[in-house]
Homo-oligomer: A and B are copies of this chain.
Amino acid sequence: MTGVLYGVGLGPGAPDLITLRAARLIERASVVAYPTLAGVASFARSIAADLIAPDAREIVMDVPMSVERAPAQEAYDKGAAEIAATLDAGHDVICLCEGDPFFYGSFMYLFARLSERYRVEVVPGVTSVTACAARAGMPLAARNERLTVLPGPLPEAELRARIEGAESVVIMKVGRHLAKIRAVIEDLGLTADAVYVERATLAEEVVLPLADAPEKAPYFSMILLTKGADPWL
């Protein structure tokens, strides 16, 4: 019988923010899979490390960093082929995903390549969005409020227009786009409503008013911008 591919969300980083379902699947897994980016140790694997059986086989997709798409596509093609062969041999494969598999997750590249040929189960995870809000003590949205999620790499003019028309805003993937995003928020007079969070729920976590954020931000950083959910019903 053909195996099942599980795309398993591991949450924002703290190992105990893994769900019971994800933990059970990983503990029982004979094959796990995950990407590494340009040879750097996998964040997803580090979240789940204590749950992976010592004798589990690990399929590692080493995705190069490059401007062109082709090298990364090839890495996912190769990984998908290895996963497919494992499924064909009757083994389930547990793909480890930081956060949630369908929310800016690299699992989508495997899903696109394999979901028509194999049974795929996606296990949702806690996203960094609500984890950052929890750590910052900032409610995201109540009642009939809207929430907009924007990637930091968007062009400055688009960021500005999207933030202007929004209520609560979450800006993901801040990283090297911090200065640009900061300038937009400052220019809109919203700096006092903005909080900077990096590595939420990990020991190295940083939560600061945007005005006090460092000059350099890691990829796993986020800006929350909200005038505060209306809490009084």
Contact = CB atoms under 8 A, between A and B. Distances in A.
Given A125-B126, A144-B154, A146-B151, A139 B11 contact: no
A15 B109 CA distance: 29
13 contacts: A11-B19, A17-B19, A18-B19, A18-B20, A19-B19, A73-B233, A100-B130, A102-B134, A103-B140, A111-B137, A111-B139, A112-B231, A144-B153
A138 interface: yes
B18 A14 contact: no
A134 B123 contact: yes
Please classify how large the interface on chain A is, using the bins under 10, 10 to 19, 20 to 34, 35 or more.
Answer: 35 or more
B19 A24 contact: no
Copy total for this chain? 2
Interface of A: 9, 11-12, 14-21, 23-24, 69, 72-73, 76, 100-105, 108-109, 111-113, 115, 120, 122-127, 130-131, 133-135, 137-151, 153-154, 162, 165, 229, 231-233
Contacts of A229: 102, 108
A17 B20 contact: yes
Contacts of A11: 19, 124
Given A17-B19, A19-B11, A231 B109 contact: yes
